Structure 1
Amino acid sequence: MALGTAASLVAVAAGCTYSHGDPAPACDVARETITYSAVVAPIFAANCLRCHGSTVANVIGGGNDFGSYAALSRYPQNSLLGSVRHEAGYSPMPQNSSKLSDCDIKRLEAWYAQGKPQ
């Protein structure tokens, strides 16, 4: 009986997708609802606010504060997207770190294209 239970547990565990390194679901920005609070703020919290948060922007973030919707939505679209895309002529961001995922960049582009919904 113990052998049967163990075999069942192994079978269930083998059915887990991400535990085996399977790829994450495809990025489908066209079907996502892209808002500042649901999508953009978490991207910035994970990648930008350590330097560009409200309390540190003037010290280590070059004065660029992305700590709130109002602050980020005033920032020029071309500058922000040029930096996260690592385009020539822009400071690549996040600085001293890898580029944002292509999916997150597409999400930021969509947010701007949709009029920066909050």
Structure 2
Amino acid sequence: MAFASACTYSQGAEPSPCNDPTPVTYAKVISPIFDANCRACHGAGVYQTLGGGNDYSTYEGIKRQSSRLILGCIQHEAGYNPMPKGGAKIAECDIQKIKTWIEAGQPND
């Protein structure tokens, strides 16, 4: 039983879903997050009418946008429009992945 008590999980902290060793790149990690949470309004065919003119359908489109604006919106910070609009805040792990990607210089692949 002493072994189990030394385990982090047995002490009440669950393992983080963000402990994935995969490098955070646009192609492998970020694009799927945007597919799941952003492109219904910020996709190529709808961003003019639904996405306030912000086109996040491509790597270049996301990279053109202010990182501060994207982070402020997805973190639901005061002074920013909470995104996704009318929806719940995206998963904290996905927010952390986006932050990591931005801090790494927004690698494409």
Q: Which of 31, 56, 63 in structure 1 is aligned with 2:53?
A: 63
Q: In structure 2, what residue type is equivalent to 1:102?
A: E
SS of match in other structure, 1:31: coil
Return the TM-score normalized by structure 1. Answer: 0.76
Return the TM-score normalized by structure 2. Answer: 0.82
Q: In structure 1, what residue type is equivalent to 2:86?
A: N
Quote how far apart the aligned CAs of 1:54 are: 1.1
Across the aligned residues of Structure 1 and Structure 2, the Cα RMSD in angstroms comes to 1.6
Residue in 2 that maps onto 1:109: 99
| Superposed CA offset, 1:48-73 (max 9, x none) | 00000011000111000000000001
Q: Which of 62, 80, 84 in structure 2 is aligned with 1:90?
A: 80
Question: Which range moved further: 29-38 or 40-49?
Answer: 29-38
Report which of the two structures shows the higher radius of gyration computed on alpha carbons: 1
Specify every segment of 5 or more residues in structure 2 that has no aligned partner in the other structure, as ranges: 1-13
Specify every segment of 5 or more residues in structure 1 that has no aligned partner in the other structure, as ranges: 1-23
Residue in 1 that maps onto 2:38: 48
Residue-pair matches, total:
95
